[in-house]
Amino acid sequence: MVTPCEGFARFRSMPGPSPFPRVRFAAAAATAAALAASACAVTPGPGEPAPDPVAEYLAETGYEPTVSDISPREHLLCTADGERAPDCDGRGQVRWSLPLEGEYRLIEWLTFYHPDTGAAHYDNASTFQAVEAGDGGVFYAENALLRMVDADTGELRWTTDLRRNPEADFLHSGLRSLHADTDRIVLRFADGLVEVDAAEGAVSGVVALPECAGDLTAVDGSRVVLEHCHDREGSYMALDLATGRTLWEFRQGDEADLSGGRLNTPSRVFTTEVDEGPASAVEVNPGWYGPAGLGTVALTRIGDTPQERGHTTVALACAPDGLGTLEPEPHAPGVRCAEPRLYAVNTG
């Protein structure tokens, strides 16, 4: 009789096709295998820390620190008179790379967790987002921590921590979506909305959402329109961002309510495994991928329209030579990423 652990071991030893260029959003299958493997591991003895599934997965896949184009620790800029200017426009070239400060960790499914964001690690899937906003800028959100970066040069324009605004007492509920235009950004948290000025990062509106508020559908001036809860399909509500007052609800949306005011949202970007290891890369163009990173989070494209593919892809990753120790640390899940990067890659 084959035990579950013996069966898993046999499954892991079975040959399979190369995953490249198999597209994925995260290393879900690989992590599932790591979690299954951890269930078959020897139980730690008294006083020994429990093994971390991510550390086990990285060790089993033969992770070795590797320098990549996103590894430099300095902020790589693409200013017109800068040293990198001649190399900034090549296809697949890293346009800019912004080192991030704080304790970032790789957790289950090789996704990122930043403890200093106000979001719980188990509700972290959508708390890292970016959207094209302002005059040539890309707005990057880590739940309650916000940055505006120049999309062409990589220069940091401003930073904002929403937790300094006492009215936004719903940030722990987790960021769900981003919406932006040239003047402002609207962040849709599970339990509320925050409006931020694109030029300076100042908070200009905070609204706690009523129960059954669904996806943000349109923004027109200070009025926001959201879908209503699922038991009232096709019904909408409108709120005033300036006052938080409910303008109307439980009514069918018409063309005037739902069109003309929709803001930009992050455009879709894919990632793929690299060299059959734990690293992954963003899709630059079909069949072309950017530099390798650990836990790569594909965020958005800049200049993406129905008529034209965006000219820059923005992503978050841990530099492949930037992991801390793989030993378990009891204060937080996963393993420490000592070299996290927000970076942009030219699409061609």
CA distance 318 to 238: 40
pLDDT tens digits for range 247-275: 888 777 666 666 655 678 898 899 998 87
- Note the pLDDT tens digit of each residue in 313-345: 999 999 999 987 787 777 778 899 999 999 999
Please check the confidence at residue 111 and state whether its pLDDT lies above 60.
Answer: yes
Q: Looking at residue 36, what is its pLDDT? A: 42
Judge whether 265 and 177 are in contact, CB under 8 Å.
Answer: yes
Residue 261 is predicted with a pLDDT of: 59
Looking at this protein, which amino acid is placed at residue 346?
Answer: N
Average pLDDT over residues 115-127: 77
The single residue listed with the structure tokens 């937790």 is: 163
User: Which strand (E) or helix (H) includes residue 35?
Assistant: helix 28-39
Is a pLDDT exceeding 60 seen at residue 140?
A: yes
Domain ranges across the chain: 16-132+267-348
pLDDT given for residue 256 in this prediction: 62
pLDDT at 337: 93
Using alpha carbons, select from 187, 158, 190, 148 the residue that is nearest to residue 314: 148
| First CA to last CA distance, the chain | 56
Q: Which residues pair with 96 in a beta bridge?
A: 344
Task: Report the alpha-carbon distance of residue 244 to residue 311 in Å, rounded.
Answer: 38
